[in-house]
Chains A and B, each alone.
Chain A
Amino acid sequence: GAGVSQSPSNKVTEKGKDVELRCDPISGHTALYWYRQRLGQGLEFLIYFQGNSAPDKSGLPSDRFSAERTGESVSTLTIQRTQQEDSAVYLCASSGPPLGALDTQYFGPGTRLTVL
């Protein structure tokens, strides 16, 4: 696609429910990243995929968070038993094959998650 897309753009859920957030990266980009941004704060790294593999999941805040990527394309971030502190904008980014120091990340518009 022309850019990174994310869905839904907004999600309101009740505490304790599970949610799935989707990211469609730029076609051909091998690397995919998930970040979380709380209101008025910087971005918090969550997880990185190279192809379909996630070499390091240590950025995920708890075991309620999981992510997968299939076909070296679409990625889904799942939050189980949502809590109010999960409310944030979840951003996805992708980048092309490693280009050395020129590995620019392209961000999607984010999914705004509100847990009531």
Chain B
Amino acid sequence: LAKTTQPISMDSYEGQEVNITCSHNNIATNDYITWYQQFPSQGPRFIIQGYKTKVTNEVASLFIPADRKSSTLSLPRVSLSDTAVYYCLVGDFGSNDYKLSFGAGTTVTVRA
């Protein structure tokens, strides 16, 4: 599994855009990038997944540069309820690469 590095914490205010960058320098050709969100006292929840360029859904956008050595999760106009831990994972989910390593994630705190 490709090792990922992301900031430990980020603070923001309601209505702002939050961008979390994850580094994955040794990403493999078949690897995809996936982000999960975990609220206190809950299990993680899938947010978004991508391979290259940009992916957008109703929750977030994922930007992946051409070299794929990093990715940025963008949360538009955050609210207090977006306070959570965000995990970046890289892996070839089409293989038996099931040992997902969630790491410590990035704790995002949104303030009023």
Contact = CB atoms under 8 A, between A and B. Distances in A.
Interface of A: 4, 31, 33, 35, 41-43, 45, 48, 55-56, 59, 91-93, 98-110
Contacts of B45: 107
Given A42-B104, A43-B102, A45-B101, A102 B93 contact: yes
Q: Say which size band chain B's interface belongs to.
A: 20 to 34
Interface string B38-61: 000111111001010000000000
Interface of B: 32, 34, 41-46, 49, 51, 87, 92-94, 96, 98-105
Nearest to B101: A45
Nearest to B107: A40
Contacts, number: 63
Nearest to A9: B41
Given A107-B43, A109-B42, A109-B43, A101 B102 contact: no
A98 B94 contact: yes
A107 B93 contact: no
